[in-house]
Structure 1
Amino acid sequence: MKRLTFILFAFFLSAEVSFATGQYPELIIYEGDTLKLLSVPLEGYLGEYDEREDKYPFLKLTCSTALWRSYQALWKLENDELFLVDVFLCADREKSILRNLFELDSPIKAKWFSGKLFVQHGKMIKYHHSGFAQYFEEETVVEIQEGNLMDRQHFVNGYRP
């Protein structure tokens, strides 16, 4: 019985670990540089997974365990406004799906988004193999309200050598 309990425990532990995959970040053009964005502002526009799969069947494609959302978006912050520049299926820059999601030309002001953007600068100093658990030398937290910049704070993250 102890052996069976151990085997079941090991199985569930390995299953838990297998779902803990670090995710591809979004990209953002910020102050002239293309940086990693550990936020997903398009999610609110796309809606819940069930309705999104009905409305956008091409997003059912599972590209990788590192890209559960099936896309990677490119954003830009310009003149205190957040814009969606492009959306790539499976993070492949040759596979733009922007026109499949919007009937507008790029850039598209992200009026639907209110929340915080986590813009990463410098080298990664810590990584945990789960979601966006990545830590960089510096981070700018940008607060957006209906596509407009409301506030920004810059942080320098320390680490022990």
Structure 2
Amino acid sequence: MRKTKNIIRSIFVIVILFLSQNSFASPQMPDYIIYKGDTIPIYNLILEKYFQKIEKSDKGSLFGLKFRDGASFNCWRGYQAIYEIENNSLYLKNIIDCGEKKIDKSASENRMNEIFGNKVINGKVYIDWFSGDFTIPNGELLRWDGVFHKTFEKGILIKVNNGKVSEISKVENYIDDPKRINRKYGDTISKVMFNELNKLNWNNKKDFDCSEKYLVTIGKSGEVTKVIMPEYQTKKEIKEFWERNEYNYCLKTVLKGLKDLKFDILKKKGKPIEESVYLEIWIEDNGKLENWTE
């Protein structure tokens, strides 16, 4: 029997975004890129990488821009950058105040000149410090970490090598298979998992109580590959709160209950990714889960 038994009866499901953690809790304004005449938001802080490279990203007030201290909650970096692709090269075109609707070209030029000096040519800077890739979004929003990073259903992947655009390709980040479970939206995943686990009879002869928080991994193939209890990671933690047989039983039961699910494939920049789903399940006396989310 579990040493510390929970008595709260509820189920709470949160889909956790892959990808990256950020210490800033407020949603952040994007940067922009001018591509084929359109100005489009992008979610890759290319200019910020430059400031980090020269180790000046946390100096407070820099070049007339307010960075960390005093910056607004939804624009902690204190500026927004506008980029442009021209002649297969990536340029920095403007540095503007957060939320600036009409660009103050004079102020932008002053910032550019003070930061980059003679690297400013014809009012823009060749981005020779950046190698990597970023996506120009298209289609519906698939996932968002709640702060900055977003993944869209479709996009244009731009690969860059020291400022030179080496490849431009269209990518799709979602494979919609009619034979698989739709996972475009987080609530779809939560409902499916709840219904699947609720098919099980959680009453057992050993009277194990599996009411707990679980982290379920949906693998790159769209199938559940792993289940853990995030609050109990070390042997010491497990031994302190659980009997080993009960701990193993609960993990295996949740994994077994979800193993036959096959979800659509989710991608990032055109490549399949894993996704983690946080589940908190509480078991009623009749061996069923009560869904308080509806």
TM-score by length of 2: 0.43
**2:131 maps to amino acid:** S
**Residues 82-93 of structure 1: matches in 2 within 5 Å?**
82-92=90-100, 93=102
* Equivalence for 1:131: 148
Whose relative contact order is higher, 1 or 2, with alpha carbons under 8 Å and at least 6 apart?
A: 2
Aligned to 1:99: 110
Trace 1:26-105 onto structure 2 (pairs within 5 A). Answer: 26-47=31-52, 48=55, 49-51=57-59, 53=60, 55-56=62-63, 58-60=65-67, 62-92=70-100, 93-95=102-104, 96-102=107-113, 103=117, 104=120, 105=122
Structure 2: which 5+ runs fail to align? Answer: 1-21, 175-182, 186-294
> Residue 148 of structure 1: CA displacement?
0.3
Decide whether aligned partners of structure 1 residues 78 and 67 sit closer, same or farther in structure 2, where only a CA change above 3 A counts: same
**Bigger Rg, structure 1 or 2:** 2
What code does the residue aligned with 1:23 have?
Q
More strand by share: 1
**Alpha-carbon distance in 2 for matches of 1:18, 1:30:** 31
Give deviations 1:121-160, integer Å, cap 9, x for gaps.
Answer: 234344341222x222312221111110112332123363
- Output the aligned Cα RMSD: 2.7
Q: Does the CA contact (< 8 Å) of 1:88 and 1:98 recur in 2? A: no
- Aligned identity (percent) is 25
Give, as a single letter, the amino acid of the residue that structure 1 aligns with 2:33.
Answer: I
The answer to whether the 8 Å contact 2:127/2:163 transfers is yes
SS in 2 for 1:97: helix
The residue aligned with 1:156 is 172
What runs of 5+ residues in structure 1 fail to find an aligned partner?
1-16
Q: How many residues of Structure 1 are paired with residues of Structure 2 in the alignment?
A: 143
C-alpha distance in 2 between matches for 1:149 and 1:138: 20
